[in-house]
Amino acid sequence: MTNLILKSEILSNVLENKSVTREEIIDIYQNSINNPIDLFLTAQKLRIKNKKKSVTFSKKAFFNIVNLCKDTCSYCTYKAEPGEEKISLMSKQQIKELSQLAKKYKCVEALFVTGEQPEKKYPEARKWLKDNGFKSTTEYLIHSSEMALELGLFPHTNAGNLNFDEMKELKKTNVSMGVMLENVSDRLTKKGMPHYLAASKKPKTRLKILENSGKLKIPMTTGILVGIGETIEEIIDSILAIKNLHKKYGNIQEVILQNFQPKQDTIMKNIPSANEEYFKKIVALSRIIMPQMNIQIPPNLSPKSYQSFLQVGINDWGGISPLTPDFVNPEFPWPKINQVEDNSKKAGFDLKCRFPIYPEFFSFISKKLRDKIAVIQNEDGYVKEGYWR
């Protein structure tokens, strides 16, 4: 009985905007193992209180700029090796053509993704850059961002561990940027673990990137992977690390909670996907830890049940493309936007199209970028319905 009273008191405190400790969060999780209803209801109440009855997404085109990568993660199929059929080395002309096509499809976001510093490992990457007139992948990203912006798209770059000066330059054309924290556990970088051969995934390194984004006032997307062999304490510590960074700098605009899905031709191909109820508990805990944060799950990674996550705390679907595949998870196609809208409505939520930057972060970007957004935004700071439909 005492434990039940304690659980009720902790969750009541959360609803009253009182802070909870790490130990209390762990207790909330432990109490939810046999019956998660109270956890889910609390997360739902917080979600409605802070995000009302709408859910957002960004209509995007995925620019797979270069998928050579100096790192190797045990679960990743995005990375290509020279000579493989899936290799992507986009030319300036290809980037221009995709930008123009994305505009025709009424996309808003240009998502630029690259492997981790490919030119440091592959002569093929260095030759590709030289052929296009650049010395580094970052220089190419700056050029690509300028081109996309000129053609009416809004760039969002996710290129791994960019340094301070690189991020400062990209801020001129990117309305937001992203890097996944994935997890703060050093244990997951040890031999036999998912990040053993991925030096860029070391927690201190990723936290430094996020710290720099805060100093530069860049609206930042980050998040964690769920189901890669982590403990609940490691998940909670990762979410708390993101919360602390946001408390310090105020620039974390959204947190992605991405459920692990095994892929063929990877070391972790026989590891089962993240259990859905466990994943939902992580979503609900994230809402409790960060009541006002924008929290998303990728709908294509939970294709049969994504709408049910609206009841446990999320308020965003992330980027959805009507044009390009999810090159990181190509075996999971994007759902049709009208289907996402229908499923959201059936769950009791209205779908809104946002920019790659949330309205509450508009003050972080330059007047030049702000003026471009103003042309197609509605009175609430979202994309005008007539523009994206």
- Count of domains in the chain? 1
pLDDT at 7: 62
Q: What is the mean pLDDT of the chain?
A: 92
Q: Which domain holds residue 293?
A: 47-377
Residue 14 belongs to a domain: no
Residue 18 belongs to a domain: no
- The pLDDT-based confidence of 73 (bands split at 50, 70, 90) is confident
What distance lies between CA 302 and its chain's CA centroid? Answer: 15
CB of 324 closer than 8 Å to CB of 315: no
The CA-CA-CA angle for residues 191, 243, 154, to 5°, reads 90
Residue 199 has pLDDT above 80, yes or no: no
pLDDT at 196: 66
- DSSP structure string for 203-266: HHHHHHHHHHHHHTT--EEEEEEESSS--HHHHHHHHHHHHHHHHHH--EEEEEEEE----TTS
Residue 22 belongs to a domain: no
Residue 1 belongs to a domain: no
Residue 16 has pLDDT above 90, yes or no: no
Looking up residue 280, the CATH number of its domain turns out to be 3.20.20.70
- The pLDDT-based confidence of 95 (bands split at 50, 70, 90) is very high
Phi, psi of 351 (to 5 degrees): -90, 130
Q: Percent of the chain having pLDDT more than 90?
A: 76
Q: Percent of the chain having pLDDT more than 70?
A: 97
Specify the pTM. 0.94
Element (H, E) at 320: strand 316-320
- What is the Cα–Cα distance from 313 to 85, expressed in whole angstroms? 40
Residue 363 belongs to a domain: yes
Residue 177 belongs to a domain: yes
Residue 15 belongs to a domain: no
Residue 241 has pLDDT above 70, yes or no: yes
- The pLDDT-based confidence of 81 (bands split at 50, 70, 90) is confident
From the list 243, 253, 290, 277, the residue with the least C-alpha distance to 14 is 290
Residue 11 belongs to a domain: no
- The pLDDT-based confidence of 1 (bands split at 50, 70, 90) is very low
Tokens linked to 265: 């031709």
pLDDT at 2: 46
How do residues 146-177 score in pLDDT, each as one tens digit?
A: 999 999 999 999 998 999 999 999 999 999 99
